[in-house]
Amino acid sequence: MNITTEDVSISVGNDVMPAYIARPESNQSLPAVIVWMEIFGVNSHIQDVTERVAQEGYVACAPNFFHRVAPDLNLDYNEAGMNAGIEHMMKLTADNMIADQKATIAYLTGRGDVTDKIGAMGFCIGGHMTYLTACENDIAAAASFYGGGIAAPEGPGGAPSTISRTGKINCPILCLFGGLDAHIPVEHTSAVHTALKEHKRDGEVVIYDEADHGFFCDQRESFHADSAADAWTRTKNLFSENLR
């Protein structure tokens, strides 16, 4: 499928959030999928994922939700990139993250080429962002890849914990973790599973025993092809069943 891409600006109050858009070459109105980035920004990997989503028949949108501190963020997968990304991540607040979510959804619904079905997916801090999006917005489906800090005692910026918001989720949510991921302890993945079950949410937690953090990214040493392929199939099925 041929796709087109563009760089756009999304208004968030008095701020401007850059975003990368990919969509099929057609005049059809299509469902949309938000692709929330890792701490490395809307780099070549996130752009590639956004384009892969578009090739499945969606308007895909990857916003830079670090825009308040790093509007041109595009980091490499190395120690310097990791350190810079973590520094920016520590400045996030849940209120600003939610504002960025709502602005992105408003932008997509206002485009004219998007239906009323919007999904979200994301990686690392973007996986956390995806879970929070499902808690705080009316979306159709969510796929959170190795979302760190979801079960931490506090949310970003000292807000109430993100896991404490689980009862507000009203869409199917898929949470994908690596069993070797030292960044996300098993206590956290178990807590996510328990919270979804206790609140009777339509959620699934999948643990890939041989995968580490970042297993979906083919630019990282931790890339695990089998786990990535299975996660991609599950995500495509999730969106196909709930956004079409």
Give the catalytic positions in this structure.
Answer: 124, 181, 213
Q: Which residues contact 157 (CB under 8 A, 6 or more apart)?
A: 92, 93, 94, 95, 96
- Round to the nearest angstrom and report the end-to-end CA distance of the chain: 17
* Rounded distance between C-alpha atoms, residue 128 and residue 123, angstroms: 8
Host H or E run for residue 176:
strand 173-178
Q: Is 119 helix (H, G, I), strand (E, B) or coil?
A: strand
| Angle, CA 215 vertex, CA 78 and CA 166 arms, to 5° | 110
Closest CA to 128 of 38, 50, 4: 38
